[in-house]
Amino acid sequence: MKRSLSVLTSFSLILASCGGGPSQSESQAPQPPTPTPTQAVFQTPTAENLTVADIQSIIAHGVGEAQAQGQPSGFIVIDRVGNVLAVFVMNGTNLTLRTPPAPNGQNSDLENLNLPAPAALAGGISKTLTAAYFSSMGAAFSSRTANDIVQETFPPSASTRGLESGPLFSVQFSQLPCSDVSARFPSRAGTHRGPLGVGADPGAFPLYKNGVVVGAVGVIGDGVYGFDTEYTDNDHSKEETIALAATTGFEPNVNIRADHISVDGTLLRYSDATPADFRSNVNAPPSFASINGSAGNLVGVPGYNDPVIVAGTAYGTEASGVRPATAAEFSVPEAWVLSDGAGNQRYPVKGGTDGANVTQPLTATEVRNLLEQAFLVQRAARAQLRYPLDNRAQNTMVVVDTNGEILGLIRGPDALVDAIDAVPQKARTTVFFSSRFAAPDLTANPTPGVAPYVQATRTFLQDPNALTGQTAFSLRAIGNISRPWFPDGELGRPPGPLSIPIERFNIFSTGLQSRLIADDILTHVNFILGNNADVPRICSRSPIVPALGRNRINNGITLFAGGVPIYRGNQLVGAIAASGDGDDQSDMIAFLGLYNASQLPGATINEAPVAIRSDQIVVPGVGPNGTRLRYVLCPFNPFVGTNDQNVCQGK
């Protein structure tokens, strides 16, 4: 059963590149779009939330264990959409924050930070929302789980060097504090930002009620905001032990924990700590009244919460900002959308804003068709990260135009919350690098170290015109040239042109991705420390699109698969992206969603012409014949109830 889920990473159970290279010369007759079904097929959460009494119990259990461990600690409790419900800090807690240095000491972006108190609360919020954002009814992921799937090797270990990168490589730079997609306190509706993005520091776990994710709890106190580079050992982390004790009564079903899910035959990790490590009696914790004001106090974090406990929002309700779509919003059954808390859809379907750049922008009808066709693909697709088996995939799907404007968003009922910010990142990254704006925008960016990535890419590809719109880059291809080894995982090789050498690489410094937004994160943390104003809702210093008041990559870029550009004939008009249930599956949902929409009567949008797809690029100097970039990789036999294989072939 575990082996059947081992299809998340880029090269597991994959079809050869679906882009039409020499091995793709065989074509298939166009397939009609899938008819709209009516039967409910998705895992759908009921409305559950954390009450004030629940939160008091969680904190009390944690404080009792922290006292028994002799480790004064801070506790962060959030709901599923990232509202900070309570922050409780024990007397004597170490609230400084330190990040690990680069391997060779040549620190570039966010490595080797040494920040004063209470900066640790920023790290605590980030790793806590990670546990909530990456969990679902079908899979419970902790911040340690996230640690294992974001690094340059999967699983991370000295003994696994030479394997490819983690399936969510680079996702740590989603949920950025400058994101225009994330909500900000005091707003309660919608998914919220992380001060440091997404966290890989162990010590945060999801919280469940009646099988539904209702939030997460995280613990800080050792002064380190880091990551674990060795999969095979046990860290004996007190933060993790204390956080696990805090989940008492709100644990996930053991069958959906990450340590019951495998990727490429490797079990993910949920926790190094177990109940055997507890030193307190978790069945008899102290009362919250007995510890509040004596063992510690509730505190507020600027930009995130007040020093009180508030109940969580129930995911799926209007108040949470994530809810079922109305029939007027989308016609496909079981579609969900984002809302502003007052009944208004945050990203209603609309036409493109880029009439100054393209001859015929995407129309609202085309955007709706793209999203609904992608949604129908996922309704038929087998989930890769959900128990029990044969559950359907649940993703978030977004369409953007060449300005990076979000033209519409649709998602499954229990899709990962992280994807609400990460999928616009995917779509924007895809269209940006495929457009004529990439080179001039990066060159004009005043942040030191950004502009040289343009020439590095041109030198690497031996193309003096690279990044000027002549190539249709899929997100997978952009990821190919963003790893600290090229090809991915091959020891001794130099990095891709959008990365940095492995000697300087860690998850806090990934190359162009982190260089673009490191200053934004530091500005925001200094806001929390009271040193300056908060960051605006604009990530990076890239040129502003005047009509929109933001830039084309306004919530940062990401480097794992699941986005493809949209063309009208030979002209780029936008991108579609998907995420939430595996890299290859994300590729398939975006790619086939576009393909099926292109087959509708009267459609004039299409996949990128084969001749300009990124899998036509052969990088010289790697092996006797060079190495070809990828376009998309789709799973074999991906649909429930059919034996269809090679579903992306020839399209």
Successive 10-residue mean pLDDT values, the chain, 651 residues: 31 34 33 58 96 98 98 98 98 98 94 97 98 97 97 95 94 98 97 97 98 98 96 96 98 96 89 97 97 98 98 98 97 97 97 97 98 97 86 96 98 97 98 98 98 98 96 98 96 96 96 98 98 97 94 97 98 97 93 98 98 96 88 93 92 94
Predicted local distance difference test score (pLDDT) of residue 388: 84
| Region(s) of the chain under CATH 3.30.450.150 | 3-44+324-437+555-628, 53-298
Q: How far is CA 248 from CA 89, 205, 290, 467, in A?
A: 19, 11, 19, 52
Predicted local distance difference test score (pLDDT) of residue 38: 67
Residues 6+ apart with CB under 8 A from 140: 206, 208, 213, 252, 253, 256, 257, 258, 270
**Cross-strand pairs, 114:** 98
Predicted local distance difference test score (pLDDT) of residue 624: 84
Predicted local distance difference test score (pLDDT) of residue 37: 61
Which residues of 541-609 form beta strands (DSSP E)?
563-568, 571-579
Q: How far apart are the first and last CA of the chain?
A: 31
∠ CA 538-541-542, rounded to 5°? 95
Residues 6+ apart with CB under 8 A from 580: 393, 394, 395, 396, 411, 412, 415, 416, 419, 423, 586
Predicted local distance difference test score (pLDDT) of residue 620: 86
C-alpha closest to that of 575 among 324, 371, 332, 289:
371
Determine the topology of domain 53-298 in CATH. Answer: Beta-Lactamase (3.30.450)
The span from the CA of 439 to the CA of 430, in Å, is 14
Which residues of 415-570 form beta strands (DSSP E)?
563-568
Q: For 558-576, how does the pLDDT look when each residue is reduced to its tens digit (9 = 90+)?
A: 999 999 999 999 999 999 9
The span from the CA of 203 to the CA of 119, in Å, is 16
Predicted local distance difference test score (pLDDT) of residue 621: 80
The span from the CA of 613 to the CA of 630, in Å, is 9
For strands 222-224 and 94-98, give the pairing: parallel
Kindly report the CATH number that applies to the domain delimited by 3-44+324-437+555-628: 3.30.450.150
The overall average pLDDT reported for the chain is 93
